[in-house]
A and B are shown apart, each in its own frame.
Chain A
Amino acid sequence: MKIAVQRQDFDAGAEMRAVARDPKVGAVASFVGVVREVPMALEHYAGMTEREIGKIVEQAKSRWRVLDCTVIHRYGELKPTEQIVLVVVASAHRGDAFAACEFIMDYLKTRAPFWKKEQTPGGARWVEARASDDMAAERWSEFTEPRRFG
């Protein structure tokens, strides 16, 4: 398991290969979030961020068969097309890898203490939290049977 909160960019391909070294791994699912259209600055709560992501990863491991997992989230100044976040999950089969990857991303959006400030042509503005992100996280509530296939 690897969790990193950093300024510098990451190599998604290298991170995906790194979790696939175990011969038990049959599936690697990944997600990369990218800055869209507007330059931004990302602020975070150092210390708590790593702990929150760690808790989210532990929850994912308790719900799906996860062999390895990497989460990297950047902070600081980021321009359009730059990578922001990476989630990589390795499992024996694709069902667990897909579901755990999506779960980690949905929870990260609503729980990890990051804040985006966009530099729009009209000036800087803090991005507001979206109800759709809360709903995306909500659908993984304990009462929902996790998806399993493959």
Chain B
Amino acid sequence: MKVKLLFFASLREQLGTGGEELELPAGVTTLAGIREHLTKRGGSYEKAFSGKALLRMAVNQEMAQPAAPIKAGDEVAFFPPVTGG
């Protein structure tokens, strides 16, 4: 199952990319699962997605909790806490 990942702000700079198409391994079906999968890549990904990192997440442009289910074609965004206004 394929999803579209988006990264913003300091996270985008840390990873050196604004996003990617990702083929999820079997068994990864939640937002928390994707985060764990990305952590396992090591390097800057491990630093960015480990449990210690303060990240917000959205699925199809709606804020979402770690347990949120993911389906094929979803737009999944990771970003730091917002600082607009």
Shortest CB–CB separation between residue B53 and chain A, in angstroms?
Answer: 13
**In the assembly, what is the distance between CA of A85 and CA of B85, in Å?**
6
Cβ-based interface call for A115 (8 A) = yes
Q: Is the interface of A mostly helix, strand, loop or mixed?
A: mixed
Shortest CB–CB separation between residue A47 and chain B, in angstroms?
Answer: 5
Task: Tell me how many residues of A have a C-beta within 8 Å of chain B.
Answer: 29
Residue of B6, B62, B82 touching A129 (CB-CB under 8 A): B82
**In the assembly, what is the distance between CA of A90 and CA of B58, in Å?**
32
Find chain B residues with CB under 8 A from A130 CB.
83
Asked if residues A113 and B80 are in contact (CB atoms below 8 Å), the reply is no
Interface centre among B9, B63, B80, B83 (most CB of A within 10 A): B83
Interface centre among B6, B10, B77, B82 (most CB of A within 10 A): B82
Residue of B61, B80, B83 touching A51 (CB-CB under 8 A): B61
Find chain A residues with CB under 8 A from B16 CB.
none
Interface residues of A in 47-79 (CB under 8 A from B): 47-48, 51-52, 73
Q: Which residue of chain A has its CB nearest to the CB of B12?
A: A43
**In the assembly, what is the distance between CA of A85 and CA of B8, in Å?**
20
Shortest CB–CB separation between residue A57 and chain B, in angstroms?
Answer: 14
Given contacts A43-B8, A45-B6, A117-B9, contact A111 B83 (CB under 8 A): no
Residue of B10, B79, B83, B85 touching A45 (CB-CB under 8 A): B79
Residues in B lying within 8 Å of A, measured CB to CB: 6, 8-10, 58, 61-63, 77, 79-85
User: Can you list 25 residue pairs at the A/B interface with Cβ under 8 Å?
Assistant: A42-B84, A44-B84, A45-B6, A45-B58, A45-B61, A45-B77, A48-B62, A51-B61, A51-B62, A73-B85, A84-B85, A108-B84, A109-B83, A109-B84, A111-B82, A114-B82, A115-B82, A116-B83, A126-B10, A126-B83, A127-B83, A128-B81, A128-B83, A129-B80, A129-B82
